[in-house]
Structure 1
């Protein structure tokens, strides 16, 4: 029985060895049969170095340089609205009238009270003068003289108080007229004739300047130095550095940079920057949104075709020709796109060469060729 088992064990071992030999032979044949992939046909070109001009773009909001909410300084009923909604107004132009009857009556009463008190002052002055004459001859007690002088001083103070009261009442009469604080455009009136208004609370309307408007946009904190230099250089409205676009339409007037905000927003890492644009045709309106275009010139910029770029996990690469005709990936930092080309900020320099055609078939270390393979000879 043991001999039979030994026989079968030896047979099994021989079968396994034979099978392994056969598989190894097949694998060697397949490996020998797998062809080496042919070199990838590519085109190679040197990077372009040129002076590039382009526009950096920033979302922007149009806002008025001066905006005032008109509120009445006295309470009463609106008796007149003296403008057309949405029209241009001039500084000092009458806009609203408030009922003056109460304030004029108060003024008349204050004037009458002053007249009475001035008469009392004249009497007190005469009494004081008379008592002083009598005192020279010791014909009156010293107490009577002092009382007369005190009455005179009281009369003078009362006259001064009534004069001040008249100024206050007179001011209220003036406040029944609401005037434009500056040249600009007025909005749609929030009150009509007959509306009751409360001093300091009711909003009548809003006036904003319109001869030039501000355009605000946010720039990254790393660009503060660049824009601060532009402010120092005093870019004028005739300079084409700053333009404003609404979709495909470019505003016909150039802007001027005037200021940057006092601090960087810690939440966004940006700082608000302000331009001003002339508005002679009243095309700009406060609240509009558009795009600020900042003309930038880059000296000796490295420019390559956009088609030479590959992207992997948010990073950008180009293929460069390496030794033994093998492609090598190089990471680059991209700048502004210029049509079918793009500026490379970092990763390439003048004199470098890149692969511009055939990159879709390349991998790191792929063998390439720039020669078109010859057509097979006809039999």
Structure 2
């Protein structure tokens, strides 16, 4: 009886203390979410610092010498081309016009007399009533008199032009600055300083500086077909960090490199109807200088960094093994990294489940954002525990 009880107890203990590895099984590989690398056209943006430059700038200068009698504009106002700005004392120039008119009238009278004398001498010379030399001299005097009329007419035109120059007009339309000369000062046609400066600021230019080396590399890639041309639209960021609402367009780039800075000047043109942009402001211009047709965009969490700053990603490789691969990710585009080397079309880049992942580890790859399946506890283990 006792022997039978011991045997039954041993069988029960053996059933309760079975091999736990058989009950639980091996731990399944972790599930990771991947995205498929697909090359596409990605713009190559560039941000360049620059300065605003007036579309047109004109210095108001006197063309005759005289005393300034009036200033005919309000400093800082908008003036139109041809609008009178200064009045120079016209007294001497008006007298010069009167004198030129009198000289012209005298020349005309002398010419009339010389022509009449030549006309009278012609038939007499033909009849040999007078010497032919006398007629020749009279005809020459008539021609000299006609030339004198032309000379005095030109002098009258010059005097009238100088009189008109006593009113100094605006050469262009735009915003005029402060007056650099006061009423009562002597203005000279040969003076070095202007009377005032007018600037047209709508539209307005932005001159940007780009490294000659960067521009050369870009042109080389464009020539080799690695990059494609982008649009010429430019956006501005003002010096306070705010955005300028109106876009501009790139106009041209200089053909020479600055010897002091090693940069090339690019010029863009912007509308400026409200006068927000003033000449001399510092701005940042942002535009797409080219398009990379074979770049790959990856969300930033998929790209990891080594201690030296180099980038790498994990791929879902063959036989469901994690594969660590170096890539080139030198710039961001929005919330993505732009991968220019290291990936090919169709590579499965792991985006989710990267924590603790190592090269060669077994994985269960699924498309990114697939819900993870959580299994229920195995019944055998629970039954064994109960039995135990």
So what's the TM-score if we normalise by structure 2?
Answer: 0.69
1:277 is aligned to 2:266: no
3-state SS in 2 of match to 1:189: coil
* Deviation (angstroms), 1:306: 6.0
Gaps of 5+ in 1: 1-40, 236-240, 372-379
1:243 is aligned to 2:235: yes
Distance 1:223 1:101, change over 3 A: farther
Deviations 1:315-358 (Å, cap 9, x if unpaired)? 6332546899797562514222424x422222233415368856
Distance 1:188 1:369, change over 3 A: farther
* Deviation (angstroms), 1:124: 1.0
Corresponding residue for residue 353 of structure 1: 349
Are the equivalent residues in 2 in contact too, given 1:221–1:269 (CA < 8 A)? no
3-state SS in 2 of match to 1:107: helix
* Deviation (angstroms), 1:148: 0.8
Cα separation, 1, equivalents of 2:93 and 2:292:
68
Cα separation, 1, equivalents of 2:172 and 2:143:
45
Are the equivalent residues in 2 in contact too, given 1:214–1:275 (CA < 8 A)? yes
Are the equivalent residues in 1 in contact too, given 2:55–2:204 (CA < 8 A)? yes
* Deviation (angstroms), 1:71: 1.4
Residue number among 317, 320, 340 corresponding to 2:311 in the alignment: 317
So what's the TM-score if we normalise by structure 1?
Answer: 0.70
Give aligned pairs, total: 317
The 5-angstrom pairing of residues 28-177 of structure 1 reads 46=35, 49=38, 56-177=46-167
Residue number among 189, 199, 202 corresponding to 1:208 in the alignment: 199
Distance 1:190 1:42, change over 3 A: farther
* Deviation (angstroms), 1:145: 0.9
3-state SS in 1 of match to 2:67: strand
Corresponding residue for residue 335 of structure 1: 331
* Deviation (angstroms), 1:200: 4.2
3-state SS in 2 of match to 1:254: strand
Corresponding residue for residue 259 of structure 1: 252
Residue number among 163, 180, 194 corresponding to 1:190 in the alignment: 180
Cα separation, 1, equivalents of 2:291 and 2:230:
13
Cα separation, 1, equivalents of 2:169 and 2:301:
60
* Deviation (angstroms), 1:258: 3.1
Cα separation, 2, equivalents of 1:193 and 1:83:
12
Cα separation, 2, equivalents of 1:270 and 1:311:
34
Cα separation, 1, equivalents of 2:195 and 2:306:
58
Are the equivalent residues in 1 in contact too, given 2:201–2:272 (CA < 8 A)? yes
Q: CA RMSD in A?
A: 3.7
Cα separation, 1, equivalents of 2:143 and 2:306:
93
Corresponding residue for residue 26 of structure 1: none
Are the equivalent residues in 2 in contact too, given 1:243–1:292 (CA < 8 A)? yes
* Deviation (angstroms), 1:188: 1.5
3-state SS in 1 of match to 2:328: strand
Are the equivalent residues in 1 in contact too, given 2:81–2:173 (CA < 8 A)? yes
Are the equivalent residues in 1 in contact too, given 2:37–2:349 (CA < 8 A)? no
Are the equivalent residues in 2 in contact too, given 1:302–1:348 (CA < 8 A)? no
Deviations 1:176-225 (Å, cap 9, x if unpaired)? 12212222111111111112122143311111222311222245234455
Cα separation, 1, equivalents of 2:142 and 2:332:
86
Residue number among 280, 284, 302 corresponding to 1:287 in the alignment: 280
Distance 1:193 1:228, change over 3 A: farther
3-state SS in 1 of match to 2:124: helix
Are the equivalent residues in 2 in contact too, given 1:114–1:162 (CA < 8 A)? yes
Are the equivalent residues in 2 in contact too, given 1:78–1:99 (CA < 8 A)? yes
Are the equivalent residues in 2 in contact too, given 1:44–1:370 (CA < 8 A)? no
3-state SS in 2 of match to 1:353: strand
Deviations 1:230-253 (Å, cap 9, x if unpaired)? 57xxx6xxxxx4222214311122
